[in-house]
Structure 1
Amino acid sequence: MNTIENNILRGGQFLVKETNCDDVFTPEDFSEEQNMMKDAVMEFNDREIIPNKARFEAKDYAFTEACMVKAGELGFLGVGVPEAYGGLGMGFVSTLLTCDYISSGTGSFSTAFGAHTGIGIMPITLYGTEAQKQKYVPKLATGEWFGAYCLTEPGAGSDANSGKTTATLSDDGKTYKINGQKMWISNAGFCKLFIVFARIEDDKNITGFIVENDPSNGITLGEEEHKLGIRASSTRQVFFNDTVVPVENMLSERGNGFKIAMNALNIGRIKLAAACLDSQRRITTLSVQYANQRKQFKTPIIDFGAIKIKLSEMATNAYVSESATYRAAKNIEDRIALRIAAGNSHQEAELKGVEEYAIECSILKVAVSEDIQNCSDEGIQIFGGMGFSEDTPMEAAWRDARITRIYEGTNEINRMLCVGMLVKKAMKGHVDLLTPAMKVQEELMGIPSFETPDYSELFSEEKAMIAKLKKVFLMVAGAAVQKFGPDLEEHQQLLIAASDILIEIYMAESAILRTEKNVKRFGEAAQAIQIAMAKLYLYHAVSIVEKNGKESIISFAEGDEQRMMLMGLKRFTKYTNYPDIVDLRLAIAEKLKIENKYCF
């Protein structure tokens, strides 16, 4: 275990420590058991979900519930639930893998599945008493019952702790009465159990409760919401009117609800990223197949450069999203294993394991949700007029993708969280940002080297570029913290720009490390297109870092400081040998054309 511990970076440390490619997990590392699970989930999706897409689009909520029951019968709802509570007890990577491959048929089922297995089951698994877990988790893990999560209110969205729902203790101290209104509650129409957050008296923080869905106990539901996408995902308001809950159904301690909500969201964020992966693969495949078949000017449109750009970028983003998501998933799994080996309970180990990588979870939520939106948008464009029609799958994919940038915390909130959490980790001494930030400052003050580096080895320049992009973040964030101190959180535009730098570093580095590892295993020729994708993504990442770095520096630095930082930015975002982006895209697109699918 010590070897593992030495090789696992703590959350956020990717920014200040170099990662060896041998220490990252990739989809090519799936075990035989994981590949069997993947095949079983894909078979279920191909049999039950994708052929019935019209029923989901027609708002057939009962069919969504029926599919959830079947998923429960096959064990998919309890993959990550300990065997003691009726689950399969598989690791975190297997949990993510299931979420990945079960989610591509339709956003409606994906949302129902994600809400139930994530924020429906996990709060009880992670925070419940032994009695609560024994009573409720087996029913949830098998699909006998379904769960829903009641946090959002009309006046409490991103500011979740400002909810007005109340919980009042009875005179005999045996029950609470809950009163209030919750909205946008996924699975509300068919759930048997709610995780409800309410405020006791004038407590600063909300408290969590396990509430069984009994209409005779003051629980009423609003009508089904009619939504842009995820149309057959049951989404209703829930009203509590003197709903009586036994005191033993309090989840965790009084006032601990906000912490439960935030940690549940950490898990939800990385699961949401996973839920966007196979959708990208399938949209890319459908787009490639259409482009191969569709002819204009007597030529398949896949042979046109404008289409090659789109397909190559779609495939690249899918590959990078996958690389980063499974890298983080294995880090979490290994951290959980370390804690269990150290004597932690499964409950505490999983809770702390995920919490450790909250920064990466937010990064993935933002990056992958935006990738799936772009992928579906380009899919519509490739299909042309047909893409705008309900007769093809693209318009539904685009509509379903839109919610991913909103739930589990909006992308704006998650962008600010990335940087905010990193700064807090630095202040606690968990991530040493100060030492490398000071080194960057000294480098800016020194005389730059004019020697031409030797970049003859594969990825040597790309890895050097990643190291330089990290210097950009340290330069910008270090100066911003120095200037604004605790008031930094008030400068939201600066935080968002800094977060985009952080996001691109993590995503680009993940793709390079995955590809480098696989080149060592399978040879450079076998990974030629993956190499092209890693280089293409990094090229775009450098441009994004340069843009956001410049915007940030101009916003808070003046005079000599500004000039010095802008010179540093130019130095840190300059290639010695620029990649030929046109050739990279052509190679990727040609591979897609030949294989007639996403094939990476």
Structure 2
Amino acid sequence: MSDITRGGQFLVKETKCEDVFTPEDFSEEQIMMRDSVKEFVDKEIWPNKNRFEAKDYAFTEEVMKKAGDMGFLSVAVPEAYGGMGMGFVDTCLVCDYISGATGSFSTAFGAHTGIGTMPITLYGTEEQKQKYVPKLASGEWFGAYCLTEPGAGSDANSGKTKAVLSPDGKYYSITGGKMWISNAGFCSLFIVFARIEDDKNITGFIIENDPSNGITMNEEEHKLGIRASSTRQVFFADTKVPVENMLAGRGEGFKIAMNALNVGRIKLAAACLDAQRRVTSNAVNYANERIQFNVPISSFGAIRYKLAEMAASAYAGESATYRAAKDIETRIKLREAEGASHHEAELKGVEEFAIECSILKVAVSEDVQNCADEGIQIYGGMGFSEDTPMESAWRDARIARIYEGTNEINRMLSVGMLIKKAMKGHVDLLGPASKVQEELMGIPSFDTPDYSELFSEEKELIGKLKKAFLMVAGGAVQKYGPDLDAHQQLLTAAADILIEIYMAESTILRTEKLAKKEGEANVKEQIAMAKLYLYKAVDVVTQKGKESIISFAEGDEQRMMLMGLRRFTKYTNMPNIVGLRETITTKLVAENSYCF
């Protein structure tokens, strides 16, 4: 087990390119699954975008039933409960490609398969699983998840919904209101979180949607995006739920909620990927067709800049998401081989990589928003019109930075979880951080390194960026100790450094692996995207590192750390960024799509 990478270890352990999983490693079965999902989206969803934008909730439900008929709702469900029982990479693959056309359907799909079905699969009793999961897996029933309340958003455990045990001990009466409930308008059951007496933590319940049992709803919310995703407030007034419908044990609801969010975070990242590919492809199409000053606007440097950046961020998102998905799958299989049940193995597997899940959620949700924003800009005035796909893509992307835990919360979580892992001895940060301190006191080497191999300088630079993080995080922990949580601006700056390291390293490793297989000459555009992404990452580390150091260090310590930051973010051979963008865009324009 010690040889298997643990969550967060990417920061202190050198990863070989052979040890990362990439989209180029999909099996024949996975490629068939991907293609069938793409065909479904192109046939059932993309041509009907206008119906989603017109808030046709009934159509969302209709297409969800078709997805159930195709088996797409059951990919992650064990075969014993009517599912396909496929691996974690497969579930991310389906989330990825089924989400490309519209955020409305993506949200309905994710809410049902993730937080609507998964809590029962992972925490339910055998009787609960047999009763409910087959109906959810087939699309006969749809699920919804009731956690958020008007006064309990990011602070999920502060909910006021009450559960009171009946005198005969046979049922609980649930009373309270929930908001932002996806799929509420057509769901058959709710996963509901409520507090029993004055318990410290909330408890989960499975409640069938029966209006005669004290369940009422407000009208559909009118939202900026995801317009045909049914979103309502749900109210429970002495709603009776049998005691056997408690999910897991009393007071374990907060644990269920947090673990569901971990899985939801990486799947949300996956669900942003095909949206980026499609936005990029649409932007390339338009730039090739739009003639100004007698030439296509795709020939203008300002437009080519945007297209290259959009493609590079999509490529990086794919690289990091599938790397983490495979690491989680490997950990799940390892746990199962050691005798754990499937649900125990999946819970622990995802929990192990909770840091990476938070990193991905932040990075990819922000990249898809930037991508859609640039897509609108490339379309110009037409991008602002509902007649083109860009404005809906931009509106749909906006929610991704809010749900599954806001990006602010996830930034703080990623660093906080890493420090906790270090305290428990799961990731050795202290040793590497001490070595960085010694290096700062020593004299830097002035030897000219050998960078003859592909990415040798880039990999050395990523190693130095890791040192920059260890320097900043180590200094912050020394300065503030247990009070570090109170310094949120410092934590979020450190998180940005951590995020860029993981994303850039994943992109470099994927491309190195691909180049060894295909030959450097055949993947020059991917090499350019990897180098471009790293260059941008170095800029972020430089800025956020400086901001962090100045916030907690003074005098000689500050000068030494700033000098160390310059050393850790310095290229020996600065890449020609304009040339890299040209290489990428030339391929995009020639292929008239995102083609990597």
Aligned to 1:168: 164
In the TM superposition, what whole-angstrom CA distance separates every residue of 1:459-516 from its partner, at most 9, and x where no partner exists? 0000000000000000000010111111101100000000000000000000000000
Q: How far is 1:453 from its partner?
A: 1.1
SS of the residue corresponding to residue 426 of structure 1 reads helix
Task: Tell me, in whole angstroms, the C-alpha distance in 1 between the residues paired with 2:76 and 2:120.
Answer: 13
Q: Structure 2 counterpart of 1:107, which letter?
A: G
Aligned to 1:574: 570
Aligned to 1:446: 442
Is 1:296 the equivalent of 2:292?
Answer: yes
Task: Tell me, in whole angstroms, the C-alpha distance in 1 between the residues paired with 2:327 and 2:76.
Answer: 16
Pairing partner for 1:10 from 3, 6, 9: 6
Task: Tell me, in whole angstroms, the C-alpha distance in 2 between the residues paired with 1:433 and 1:259.
Answer: 26
Task: Tell me, in whole angstroms, the C-alpha distance in 1 between the residues paired with 2:582 and 2:130.
Answer: 56
Pairing partner for 2:517 from 507, 521, 531: 521
Is 1:483 the equivalent of 2:473?
Answer: no
Q: Structure 2 counterpart of 1:479, which letter?
A: G
Pairing partner for 2:114 from 118, 122, 127: 118
Task: Tell me, in whole angstroms, the C-alpha distance in 2 between the residues paired with 1:255 and 1:485.
Answer: 30
Q: Structure 2 counterpart of 1:560, which letter?
A: D
Computed over aligned residues only, the root mean square deviation of the Cα atoms, in angstroms, reads 0.6
SS of the residue corresponding to residue 59 of structure 1 reads coil
Matched ranges for 1:175-254 at <5 A: 175-254=171-250
Q: Structure 2 counterpart of 1:47, which letter?
A: K
Aligned to 1:358: 354
Q: How far is 1:56 from its partner?
A: 0.2
Task: Tell me, in whole angstroms, the C-alpha distance in 1 between the residues paired with 2:566 and 2:25.
Answer: 38
Is 1:412 the equivalent of 2:408?
Answer: yes
Task: Tell me, in whole angstroms, the C-alpha distance in 1 between the residues paired with 2:570 and 2:469.
Answer: 15
Q: Structure 2 counterpart of 1:399, which letter?
A: R
Aligned to 2:373: 377
Q: How far is 1:452 from its partner?
A: 1.6
SS of the residue corresponding to residue 186 of structure 2 reads coil
Aligned to 1:36: 32
Q: TM-score, normalised by structure 2?
A: 1.00
Is 1:401 the equivalent of 2:384?
Answer: no
Aligned to 1:436: 432
Task: Tell me, in whole angstroms, the C-alpha distance in 1 between the residues paired with 2:500 and 2:5.
Answer: 18
SS of the residue corresponding to residue 578 of structure 1 reads coil
Q: How far is 1:330 from its partner?
A: 0.2
Using the aligned pairs only, state the percent identity: 80
In the TM superposition, what whole-angstrom CA distance separates every residue of 1:169-203 from its partner, at most 9, and x where no partner exists? 01111100000000000000000000000000000
Is 1:317 the equivalent of 2:313?
Answer: yes
Pairing partner for 1:93 from 86, 89, 95: 89
Is 1:53 the equivalent of 2:49?
Answer: yes
Task: Tell me, in whole angstroms, the C-alpha distance in 2 between the residues paired with 1:404 and 1:432.
Answer: 32
In the TM superposition, what whole-angstrom CA distance separates every residue of 1:534-558 from its partner, at most 9, and x where no partner exists? 0000000000000000000000000
SS of the residue corresponding to residue 84 of structure 2 reads coil
Unaligned runs of 5+ in 2: none
Task: Tell me, in whole angstroms, the C-alpha distance in 2 between the residues paired with 1:597 and 1:580.
Answer: 24
Q: Structure 2 counterpart of 1:552, which letter?
A: S
Is 1:275 the equivalent of 2:271?
Answer: yes
Q: How far is 1:212 from its partner?
A: 0.5
Q: How far is 1:121 from its partner?
A: 0.7
In the TM superposition, what whole-angstrom CA distance separates every residue of 1:247-271 from its partner, at most 9, and x where no partner exists? 0100001000001000000000000
SS of the residue corresponding to residue 370 of structure 2 reads helix
Is 1:598 the equivalent of 2:594?
Answer: yes
Task: Tell me, in whole angstroms, the C-alpha distance in 1 between the residues paired with 2:446 and 2:18.
Answer: 32
Task: Tell me, in whole angstroms, the C-alpha distance in 2 between the residues paired with 1:548 and 1:163.
Answer: 35
SS of the residue corresponding to residue 385 of structure 1 reads helix
Task: Tell me, in whole angstroms, the C-alpha distance in 2 between the residues paired with 1:490 and 1:100.
Answer: 36
Q: Structure 1 counterpart of 2:24, which letter?
A: E
Q: Structure 2 counterpart of 1:548, which letter?
A: K
In the TM superposition, what whole-angstrom CA distance separates every residue of 1:272-294 from its partner, at most 9, and x where no partner exists? 00000001001000000100010
Task: Tell me, in whole angstroms, the C-alpha distance in 1 between the residues paired with 2:48 and 2:371.
Answer: 22
Task: Tell me, in whole angstroms, the C-alpha distance in 2 between the residues paired with 1:463 and 1:168.
Answer: 58
Q: TM-score, normalised by structure 1?
A: 0.99
Aligned to 1:388: 384
SS of the residue corresponding to residue 352 of structure 1 reads helix
SS of the residue corresponding to residue 230 of structure 1 reads coil
Q: Structure 2 counterpart of 1:70, which letter?
A: K
Q: How far is 1:523 from its partner?
A: 0.6
Aligned to 1:27: 23
Task: Tell me, in whole angstroms, the C-alpha distance in 2 between the residues paired with 1:120 and 1:417.
Answer: 24
Pairing partner for 1:331 from 327, 331, 337: 327
In the TM superposition, what whole-angstrom CA distance separates every residue of 1:54-108 from its partner, at most 9, and x where no partner exists? 0000000000000000000110001011000010000000000000000011000
Q: How far is 1:456 from its partner?
A: 1.3
Q: Structure 2 counterpart of 1:136, which letter?
A: Y
SS of the residue corresponding to residue 189 of structure 1 reads helix
Unaligned runs of 5+ in 1: none
Q: How far is 1:155 from its partner?
A: 0.2
Q: How far is 1:414 from its partner?
A: 0.3
Q: How far is 1:35 from its partner?
A: 0.5
Task: Tell me, in whole angstroms, the C-alpha distance in 1 between the residues paired with 2:573 and 2:285.
Answer: 35
